[in-house]
């Protein structure tokens, strides 16, 4: 994990200096499914901002969290972790379509503030 994470951070800092950032389409899913890893990643982003003086967006925390998530599973690689997260995202999209209403992506509550299960 150290090697891949340090490589990611190095590349991310290069992009940040050029104001070139990627969208994090799985950010909500990572926040909800792996809250501890995401919170640690947000702290890491804040620490990097403080130490480098570079404006790093919070969305980078999602990418960093994937490294932490992946490190928990010896038999999986990053592609499999992303794949599993996308499958969960697709299941949520299907449920949203089936029930005919969008889900509030900031919580486990649907758009009508009812707990979803």
Token code pair at residue 84: 């599993």
The string over 69-108, giving b where at least 16 C-beta atoms fall within 10 Å of a residue's C-beta and e elsewhere, is: bbbeeeeeeeeebeeebeeebeebeeebeeeeeebeeeee
Token code pair at residue 17: 């200096």
DSSP assignment letter at 22: -
pLDDT at 45 over 50: yes
Record the pTM: 0.61
pLDDT digits (tens, 9 = 90+) for 6-33: 888 888 888 888 888 878 878 888 888 8
Question: What pLDDT, on the 0 to 100 scale, is given for residue 1?
Answer: 67
Confidence of residue 42 (pLDDT cuts 50, 70, 90): very high
């Amino acid at each position: 994990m150290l090697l891949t994470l340090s490589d990611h951070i190095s590349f991310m800092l290069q992009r940040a200096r050029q104001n070139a950032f990627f969208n994090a389409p799985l950010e909500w899913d990572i926040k909800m499914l792996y809250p501890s890893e995401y919170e640690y990643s947000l702290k890491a982003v804040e620490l990097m901002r403080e130490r480098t003086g570079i404006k790093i967006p919070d969305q980078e925390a999602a990418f960093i969290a994937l490294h932490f998530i992946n490190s928990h599973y010896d038999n999986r690689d990053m592609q499999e972790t992303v794949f599993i997260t996308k499958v969960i995202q697709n299941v949520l999209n299907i449920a949203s379509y089936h029930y005919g209403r969008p889900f509030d992506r900031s919580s486990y509550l649907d758009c009508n503030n009812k707990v979803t299960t």
